[in-house]
Structure 1
Amino acid sequence: MNFALGFKPPPAGSPGPGAGRGATMENLEKQLICPVCLELFSKPVVILPCQHNLCRKCANDIFQSSNPLWQSRGSSSITASGGRFRCPSCRHEVVLDRHGVYGLQRNLLVENIIDLYRQQESSGLVSIKPGQQQQQHLTCEDHEEEKINIYCLSCQTPTCSMCKVFGKHKDCEVAPLSTVYTSQKTELSDGIATLVATNDHIQAVISQMEDTCCTIEENGQQVREHLADSFDGLVAILEERKQELVGLITKEQDDKLKYVRSLIHRHSDDLEAAVTLVESAIQSMEEPHMPLFIQSAQVILEKMAASAQVSHMERPELGFESMNHFTIDTDDLAVMLMNIDFCSADDDEDDAEKGEEDSEPDPKF
């Protein structure tokens, strides 16, 4: 990086009486930031059941991403019965009625506060943020008197106008720093919204696979009970065979559970990594320095791009949890066991004669 932070602290006693009010307004602004677009809430502001707020447009974007088949409002086709998505702030599941996002209650109090804040801002009563003051003093290392005001697209680094005219970036392609800042901030905001929707989808798949585990366990228990009932009427000679069959069921159940749980563990790791990436992106959005923000945003965007490429989630195939092939019919076996009887003497003699005939040597030619 070819820039340095040249901010000097103000001398003692310089803050005026409005300094405390500026800090209060800054804290107020933080409370009025939408967790999705990371901008001031835009009207109308909707309040979720978990008491968190979202811009209606942001809420609708998340809802549409989580419910792609939901019919939009005013569609001529049959209206869907509703949908659901997760709050980006607390992950609470929000269940909507057939009106979708338009059925959420507006937070008029927050809207009024935003109006008052913007009136204060337009009248000049909102003080300049400390981050903005520091940003004005970012200077070039090679040209200490020059501010960082352009971005070198070839070298992908912020620089100053002197570096472009006379310095090492004179043959490079450059763009205004504010343009690159706005572009990457928009791209990062869109990436956060997409990643949040992807996380909701992963969480839904994990929940489905957890239900699959419960179904596998229930079906396995039912098959074992049926097998035990089938063997209750049999003699002890079938006990060993019964244990073998129980072992087969248990082995397949364990194999299936092991496979599904391995998928859950893998996707849970992916989800945790994605959530961590969202937190890093949100922290990056709070960076007040455009050059520092651009550099951190580039790394996060690359990670987001790599995460987005993994679009296919491996899951058990349809009917994987079924154990219906473990069925047994003991009717014929019970009849055979009931017909077991002693061998007669004639049968013994016939067996002996047959054994002698089998032991006679073959004639020689």
Structure 2
Amino acid sequence: MEEMEEELKCPVCGSFYREPIILPCSHNICQACARNILVQTPESESPQSRRASGSGVSDYDYLDLDKMSLYSEADSGYGSYGGFASAPTTPCQKSPNGVRVFPPAMPPPATHLSPALASVPRNSCITCPQCHRSLILDDRGLRGFPKNRVLEGVIDRYQQSKAAALKCQLCEKAPKEATVMCEQCDVFYCDPCRLRCHPPRGPLAKHRLVPPAQGRVSRRLSPRKVSTCTDHELENHSMYCVQCKMPVCYQCLEEGKHSSHEVKALGAMWKLHKSQLSQALNGLSDRAKEAKEFLVQLRNMVQQIQENSVEFEACLVAQCDALIDALNRRKAQLLARVNKEHEHKLKVVRDQISHCTVKLRQTTGLMEYCLEVIKENDPSGFLQISDALIRRVHLTEDQWGKGTLTPRMTTDFDLSLDNSPLLQSIHQLDFVQMKASSPVPATPILQLEECCTHNNSATLSWKQPPLSTVPAEGYILELDDGNGGQFREVYVGKETMCTVDGLHFNSTYNARVKAFNKTGVSQYSKTLVLQTSEAIAIYEIKPIKRG
């Protein structure tokens, strides 16, 4: 259909024909374009003047020209044209399609007719922009030319077929209209399937997405390769054996080798495995994103360790300045110990960075290889390795399990200087490391998306911060009295979700939660405002027995 598009365009304006008319030379032109290329000829070149002078076109010529008359839809009679004239000497121009056309005539005075059908000046001449034959119009002007209704219908049908919607290839039940096509994956996607199976982040962002119509043309110009059976070279793979996990042809089934096996359509299995691999890649891509964020966190820890080290050194120097005479030699030893702790923390964090970087590079390499395999247009070749790749992707995803993305070292220095001894005890001055007590748990975070109210009850949910390394033994949930009064404990326990019943209707409550362990209690979480429902009156109607 795209090849015939140029045949449906006007040679003057370069667009699809609009209200096309047929010239005596059998060529077509838009009615408005015909109006624009009219040229007024001198009075001496009109058919009447030529016939009166006996020069130019003879009566025999006009008789022959009358035989070329066509039906006119304007008056349902025969339309006789004045005759073909010699080409005007006016300089010609070029239309958008490169065809020579003559400049438009002077605009006629306004009439009650439409611009395309308004009366034209006497002795007007029109030149065909394709064969360059000139025609002098009679008194009817452009109304004497018949309209090409058939060409108009063909253009309408062509534009409708061109706008036909393509369907998504990954929708399971009712395929939606496709919005893009990936040239590398050779798949049409709707917007939900594109976001689910073809995310715009990561290596898939390098794929070229084109409109569906353009993708249909490119798919037709580059047909898909069809692989043949290894046992029967003249047969193409058309089915997939589920037990053997390999593509087969019809002849393989007829010979009985796979007769008792479960066999499915090759295209359906190709689509299924592609969808499984795409979904597995989505999970692995999320893990890779978490790994990148974890690396940023580790690099921030390096900077924080360095900042804490500088701060600790400054504090140590400030304490030692009071005892500077006696502490000069001891100060060097204490600084060395701090630096040793500093280097130890940096070494642990950097080793974890190196280990995580290597795993991330392996994961990225596997993802890029899988993406290249997805681009493979050969279903049999893809299915031969798809199962192994899917298992490998799941195995790699499992390697990023719990503990892998957890820091092995804290940024704090658990050292404290005791400067209370007297000067005579200066040589016995040493660090006191706080190992006896552990820190309090981190402040809990209320999960707003899970907190709600129903009638006169409220449900609250909370969790520990993702990077918290100190476990909590329990939680304390507090609510006020609904009038902005003091908070009171409504729950103490290990659960992270609690429903409180018996609240007042149409009241506003403030809720907060804190964590505790053997060391102490954490800070309160942010206060959450809850609004209970309005009271609903329930009436019970009992029948009265009359004696």
- Taking structure 1 as the reference length, what is the TM-score of the superposition? 0.58
Amino acid at match of 1:114: P
2: distance between equivalents of 1:36 and 1:196? 18
| Deviation, structure 1 residue 169 | 2.9
| Structure 1 residues 171 and 216, CA gap change in structure 2 (3 angstroms) | same
**Is residue 226 of structure 1 aligned with residue 374 of structure 2?**
no
| Deviation, structure 1 residue 201 | 1.0
Stretches of structure 2 lacking an aligned partner (at least 5 in a row): 5-179, 427-547
**Is residue 128 of structure 1 aligned with residue 220 of structure 2?**
yes
Q: CA contact under 8 A between 2:181 and 2:212: conserved in structure 1?
A: no
2:406 aligned partner: 315
Q: CA contact under 8 A between 1:37 and 1:189: conserved in structure 2?
A: no
Greater strand fraction, Structure 1 or Structure 2 = 2
SS at match of 2:211: helix
Q: C-alpha offsets along residues 157-177 of structure 1, whole Å, 9 cap, x if unaligned?
A: 112122222153334332221
2:201 aligned partner: 87
Amino acid at match of 1:168: K
Q: CA contact under 8 A between 2:281 and 2:367: conserved in structure 1?
A: yes
How many residue pairs end up in the alignment? Answer: 247
2: distance between equivalents of 1:35 and 1:261? 41
| Structure 1 residues 41 and 142, CA gap change in structure 2 (3 angstroms) | closer
2:238 aligned partner: 149
1:114 aligned partner: 211
| Deviation, structure 1 residue 298 | 2.2
2: distance between equivalents of 1:289 and 1:257? 50
| Deviation, structure 1 residue 36 | 11
1: distance between equivalents of 2:186 and 2:279? 10
1: distance between equivalents of 2:289 and 2:184? 14
**Is residue 190 of structure 1 aligned with residue 279 of structure 2?**
yes
SS at match of 1:175: strand
Q: CA contact under 8 A between 1:37 and 1:58: conserved in structure 2?
A: no
| Deviation, structure 1 residue 115 | 5.2
Aligned identity (percent) is 22
2: distance between equivalents of 1:167 and 1:224? 81
2: distance between equivalents of 1:266 and 1:242? 36
| Structure 1 residues 127 and 155, CA gap change in structure 2 (3 angstroms) | closer
Q: CA contact under 8 A between 2:291 and 2:405: conserved in structure 1?
A: no
1:3 aligned partner: none
Q: CA contact under 8 A between 1:151 and 1:157: conserved in structure 2?
A: yes
| Deviation, structure 1 residue 296 | 2.8
**Is residue 254 of structure 1 aligned with residue 347 of structure 2?**
no
Amino acid at match of 2:343: D
SS at match of 1:288: coil
| Deviation, structure 1 residue 304 | 0.5
2: distance between equivalents of 1:283 and 1:172? 31
Q: C-alpha offsets along residues 247-295 of structure 1, whole Å, 9 cap, x if unaligned?
A: 2212222121111111111111121111111111111111010011112
Q: CA contact under 8 A between 2:241 and 2:248: conserved in structure 1?
A: yes
SS at match of 2:243: coil
| Deviation, structure 1 residue 131 | 4.9
- Taking structure 2 as the reference length, what is the TM-score of the superposition? 0.40
| Structure 1 residues 336 and 292, CA gap change in structure 2 (3 angstroms) | closer
Question: Could you say what the CA RMSD is over the residues aligned between the two structures, in angstroms?
Answer: 3.6
1:70 aligned partner: none
| Deviation, structure 1 residue 184 | 0.2
2:12 aligned partner: none
2: distance between equivalents of 1:250 and 1:235? 20
| Deviation, structure 1 residue 207 | 0.9
| Structure 1 residues 333 and 144, CA gap change in structure 2 (3 angstroms) | same
1: distance between equivalents of 2:350 and 2:229? 54
| Structure 1 residues 241 and 36, CA gap change in structure 2 (3 angstroms) | farther
Give the structure, 1 or 2, with the largest relative contact order (CA under 8 Å, sep 6 or more): 1
1: distance between equivalents of 2:299 and 2:341? 17
Larger gyration radius, structure 1 or structure 2: 2
Q: C-alpha offsets along residues 190-230 of structure 1, whole Å, 9 cap, x if unaligned?
A: 11222211111111111112111111111111112222232
| Structure 1 residues 155 and 288, CA gap change in structure 2 (3 angstroms) | same
2:494 aligned partner: none
2: distance between equivalents of 1:283 and 1:305? 18
Q: CA contact under 8 A between 1:149 and 1:159: conserved in structure 2?
A: yes
Query: Which of the numbers 190, 199, 206 marks the counterpart of 1:42?
Result: 190
2:379 aligned partner: 290
| Structure 1 residues 233 and 241, CA gap change in structure 2 (3 angstroms) | same
Q: CA contact under 8 A between 2:181 and 2:211: conserved in structure 1?
A: no
Q: Please list, as runs of the form range in 1=range in 2, the aligned pairs for 1:166-177 lying within 5 A after superposition.
A: 166-177=255-266
Amino acid at match of 1:259: V
SS at match of 1:139: coil
2:474 aligned partner: none
Q: CA contact under 8 A between 1:131 and 1:289: conserved in structure 2?
A: no
2: distance between equivalents of 1:235 and 1:302? 65
Q: CA contact under 8 A between 1:146 and 1:160: conserved in structure 2?
A: yes
**Is residue 206 of structure 1 aligned with residue 295 of structure 2?**
yes
Q: C-alpha offsets along residues 60-86 of structure 1, whole Å, 9 cap, x if unaligned?
A: x96xxxxxxxxxxxxxxxxxxxxxxx8
Q: CA contact under 8 A between 1:139 and 1:145: conserved in structure 2?
A: yes
Q: CA contact under 8 A between 1:35 and 1:88: conserved in structure 2?
A: no
Q: CA contact under 8 A between 1:230 and 1:330: conserved in structure 2?
A: yes
Q: CA contact under 8 A between 1:38 and 1:285: conserved in structure 2?
A: no
Q: C-alpha offsets along residues 112-150 of structure 1, whole Å, 9 cap, x if unaligned?
A: x625436xx4xxx65635451x31xx2223222222111
Amino acid at match of 1:277: L
Amino acid at match of 2:407: P
SS at match of 2:247: strand
Q: CA contact under 8 A between 1:191 and 1:304: conserved in structure 2?
A: yes
Q: CA contact under 8 A between 2:280 and 2:390: conserved in structure 1?
A: yes
SS at match of 2:393: helix
| Deviation, structure 1 residue 299 | 2.5
1: distance between equivalents of 2:185 and 2:232? 36
Q: C-alpha offsets along residues 24-68 of structure 1, whole Å, 9 cap, x if unaligned?
A: xxxxxxxx5459987445349xxxxxxxxx94x349x96xxxxxx
2: distance between equivalents of 1:258 and 1:250? 12
2: distance between equivalents of 1:90 and 1:208? 25
**Is residue 273 of structure 1 aligned with residue 348 of structure 2?**
no
| Structure 1 residues 284 and 232, CA gap change in structure 2 (3 angstroms) | same
